[in-house]
Amino acid sequence: MKINKVVEGVSSAVIDALTRYDWPGNVRELANVLERAALLCPDRIISEKDLPSELSSAIPPVAKPEPGHLQETLDRVGRQCILEALRKTGWKKKEAASHLGLSPRAFSYYLAKYGLDKERGEEKEGSGEGK
């Protein structure tokens, strides 16, 4: 969904909440939450008050928002979700994809996008974020 609104970033408390949340609705739920927050936020920074109550109730207090680009935030949170799913499933790609509600093809796309390496369980040098 495209919106005609400029959102410059999200607060660090929002990033913390997004990475801690279990995402039972998978990556689509994450995208929907961020789109909704972007639409509803009165400022240019998404804050904890813009999140649904199930996410905002788990957010620790934060001093002030940190600006950042929305796509960078989506990539950071998406990468974290992929890593967590891989860790929970012992790096079994098919199970991790299923856990996230992704097809194997989509999951492979995200593995390549985020530069994740099964053997090391970490980011490959020079790839992943920022792409």
pLDDT of residue 65: 43
pLDDT of residue 73: 77
Mean pLDDT, each 10-residue run in order, the chain (131 residues) = 74 81 78 85 85 66 54 82 85 88 90 73 45 41
Q: Note the pTM of the prediction, 2 decimals.
A: 0.44
Secondary structure letter of residue 49 according to DSSP:
G
Let me know if 61 is exposed, middle or buried by CB neighbors in 10 A (0-12, 13-18, 19+). exposed
CB-side neighbour CA atoms (13 Å) of 42: 1
pLDDT of residue 114: 87
pLDDT of residue 46: 86
Domains along the sequence of the chain with CATH: 1-68 (1.10.8.60), 70-131 (1.10.10)
Percent helix, strand, coil in the chain, to 5, is 50, 5, 40
Neighbours of 82 (CB within 10 A): 21
